[in-house]
Amino acid sequence: MDATVNQFLAVSILFCFSVGFTWAVNGCYNCSPEDKGCDDPIKSEMSVYETCSDVRPNETFPHARIFMQQRTRAGSEDVKYICATIQISSSDIRKTGLYRTCLVKNPSEDGCDILKTEFKEQGFGDSVKCTICDEHYCNFLTEETIQNSGKMTFSSVLLYTFISMLFVTCVF
């Protein structure tokens, strides 16, 4: 390999590691099925981009209540956030769909279990699927893609891209 390729690989590796280790959740999509564009926030260029610390209480929806309760319990300490998407199926069509929210990151709690229980207890319906992710605006999955989702993060996509580039560069 020539010097240019080596320099490119070195810079790429440093970039991947710096992004992967410094990327943090500043904001999540925060919406309910009633909000225009919540079904596909990227395609609709949804304007509900908020930092998690700016989310205001909306007692109408369970996901908002849970987040506000978690944030109150956390107090003013350095709070870290995760994003969540929960798909609800209900006999009431107005309650059926995707709900997106911020949650306070707490290793001793399962955010999906908390959301599923709250939605069920509040009569919103049953959870079809729930995902948690820990990167900026990562809760973008649609009803179609949430069904096939696993642990998908920006860092893993970036790493896969880097490995693919490395393979192509070394082979060719």
Give 61-91 pLDDT, tens digit per residue: 788 778 888 888 877 667 888 999 999 999 9
Q: Is residue 4 part of a domain?
A: no
- Residues 6 or more apart whose Cβ sits within 8 Å of residue 20: 155, 158, 159
Q: Does 167 have pLDDT greater than 90?
A: no
Q: Which of 39, 140, 36 is nearest to 98 (CA)?
A: 39
Q: Is residue 104 part of a domain?
A: yes
Tell me the residue range of the domain where 116 lies.
24-151
Q: Is residue 162 part of a domain?
A: no
- How many separate domains does the chain show? 1
Cβ distance 128 to 109 under 8 Å? no
In this structure, what is the dihedral angle of CA atoms 126, 152, 39, 137, given to the nearest 10 degrees? 120
Round the average pLDDT of the chain to a whole number and report it.
75
Q: Is residue 15 part of a domain?
A: no
Q: Is residue 16 part of a domain?
A: no
Q: Is residue 12 part of a domain?
A: no
Q: Is residue 2 part of a domain?
A: no
Q: How many CB atoms lie within 10 A of CB 163?
A: 11
Q: Please tell me the pTM assigned to this model.
A: 0.69
Q: Which of 116, 140, 110, 113 is nearest to 128 (CA)?
A: 116
* Spatial distance between the Cα atoms of 87 and 49, rounded to a whole number of angstroms: 20
Q: Which of 136, 140, 139 is nearest to 25 (CA)?
A: 136
Q: How many CA atoms lie within 13 A of 41 on its CB side?
A: 24
Q: Is residue 57 part of a domain?
A: yes
